[in-house]
Amino acid sequence: MIDSDTINSRFQFAQSVILEAGAIAKEYFGRISALTIKNKGLHDLVSEADINTERFISQSLKQQFPDDLFFGEESAVESTSSVKEALSATNKRGIWVVDPIDGTQPFLNGIPSWCISMAYVFDNQIQFGVIYDATRNELFTGGLAHPATLNGNEIKPHAGRDFSQGLVSIGFSARTSVNFLFTATAKLLENQGMFFRNGSGALSLAYVACGRLMGHVEPHMHSWDCLGGLSIIKAAGGRINDFLVDDALIKGGWVVGATPSIYEQLLAMLPEHK
């Protein structure tokens, strides 16, 4: 168990940190042609903006909550062993799961479709998530003990009951079979729906929470990409899969987040759930 004061102090601090981090990332976004960029793998880039934004978040959290663990996209390799230890029954510690810039490809191409995502996990539960779109100054928040909000105003999922009434986000990465993308898109179109993709899974999940999208489905997402958004969708009254099973926090897993009426249809798009 974790007491409400412990959660609230972290929830409030997370919001201030993510706004400061957003200002840092946005400054880099204003001069992307001057950034140093490295290739981590197929369609997987990293820049000094990602690294320095994550470093700021990590150091801020460490100073305020020195006993908490940190699991970020750019430092995941170094922190994996300590996070695995924290997940054991005998050593329960809070874990911050952070993506400093989700949507690096759009970011580096000057497209304002990226965000910062943070989530706090304790006892294998997502306690809360915060997502900040610095280019639009939109802060999404929500958790087990906190309502889902956008810039302080409560939000809720799309009211539509079938695909024809809105947009559905289909996530895709180099870790995903091309067949899934073709099959899922075809199913959506056959059912009079329309697909959407903005290059940021975290931002797409935030859009599901506030009703801009009806749902998001993806065969594999890293925990830092999705935990914040999943928490906000659940707080808003949407439906999400139980992501934190087995070792998904470390290795990632499939994701479905949606307005309840289309959740099962999105689930059926995934190969393992046909």
Q: Give me the domains of the chain, ranges plus CATH numbers.
A: 4-154 (3.30.540.10), 163-273 (3.40.190.80)
What's the pLDDT band for 31 if we cut at 50, 70, 90?
A: confident
What's the pLDDT band for 40 if we cut at 50, 70, 90?
A: low
| Tens digit of each residue's pLDDT (9 = 90 or more) over 203-257 | 999 999 999 999 999 999 999 999 999 999 999 999 999 999 988 999 999 999 9
Q: Report which of 179, 178, 243 is spatially closest to residue 205, judged by C-alpha positions.
A: 243
Residues whose CB falls within 8 Å of the CB of residue 164, separated by 6 or more in sequence, listed in order: 191, 192, 193
| Tens digit of each residue's pLDDT (9 = 90 or more) over 113-151 | 999 999 999 988 999 999 999 999 999 999 999 999 999
- Is 50 exceeded by the pLDDT of residue 90? no
Summarize the chain as % helix, strand, coil (round to 5).
45, 25, 30
Average pLDDT, the chain: 89
Residue 116 CA: distances (Å) to CA of 60, 72, 194, 239: 15, 11, 26, 22
How confident is the model at residue 42, as a pLDDT?
41
How confident is the model at residue 33, as a pLDDT?
76
Instruction: Estimate to the nearest angstrom the gap between the alpha carbon of 121 and the chain centroid.
Output: 13
Residues 52 and 106: their CA atoms lie apart, in Å, by 18
